[in-house]
Amino acid sequence: MRPNTAKRKLQAGLPILGASVSAASPLVAETMGHLGYDWVLLDLQHGENNLGNIGALLTAVSATPTFPWVRVVSNDGPLIQRVLDLGAYGVVVPMINNAREAEAAVRAMRYPPKGDRSWGPIRGALYGGADYFAEAERELMLVVMIETADGITNADEILAVDGVDGCLIGTNDFSLSFGLSPRPVPDASPMDPRVEEAAQRVLEAAKRHGKGPGLFTTDGGMAGERIRQGFRIISLLGDVAGLRAGCAANLRQVREVADTISPTA
């Protein structure tokens, strides 16, 4: 089976860098895959993607060195199995609140006797290789999202679950749990102390259980700071936010020159 180098790096304690794709565009997905990320997250939860087009995006990323992940809408076993069958090498499951929910996600990722995944990797084996059944448990990745008050409280038991490779912290959802507004993107200002404390609790729980702690970042400076803090799954600006930030910065730079030109008539 195709070796999951992103998983190997994470197991070695190294950071793995990725970004989300919200656009329903194979061209965008393939472009992101060629930029040098360790993983690219195809977003079914908040993007415009759906089961009708996710296969095309997975195929597009498969043409690049980057490993394709999918964030599913919810902790739905059949949906997790569908995206695995279509070729996802990593699955991100949102709103995990306790060990029982984490265990359900693990079961959906694994074939019997350790899980309840049904056989039929129509494209997963084509991308992964002929020994897909034998090696899937070793190569595929499960990343749970801890983003609610219950998830924060139960972070230790969630990350103790065998088969969970790491977590992503939804700091904006943390903020909502504390009655705060989501942070704009980009935003280099310090997070609310309550959110920061919650993120630290999850980080420490992940370290105790040898799992990869991760979060979403809004700029390169924040990403570097979080890596130094100990986070190892780093989500950088995705396609839509990166497009907006990059194009806006370029426009501002050129507009400063354009606005110095006086009309000729």
- What's domain 5-258's superfamily in CATH? Phosphoenolpyruvate-binding domains (3.20.20.60)
Cβ pair 159, 167 in contact under 8 A? yes
Q: Which residues are catalytic?
A: 46
Averages of pLDDT over runs of 10 residues in the chain (265 residues) are 97 98 98 98 95 97 98 98 98 97 98 97 96 97 95 96 95 77 66 87 97 93 94 96 94 95 84
pLDDT digits (tens, 9 = 90+) for 91-108: 999 999 999 999 999 999
Cβ pair 237, 188 in contact under 8 A? no
The pLDDT value given to residue 240:
95
The pLDDT value given to residue 60:
98
Residue among 17, 63, 50 at smallest CA distance from 212:
17
Residue among 96, 99, 47 at smallest CA distance from 76:
96
User: Beta-carbon neighbour count of residue 172 at 10 Å?
Assistant: 16
Task: Spell out the domain ranges in the chain.
Answer: 5-258
The pLDDT value given to residue 194:
85
User: Beta-carbon neighbour count of residue 133 at 10 Å?
Assistant: 13
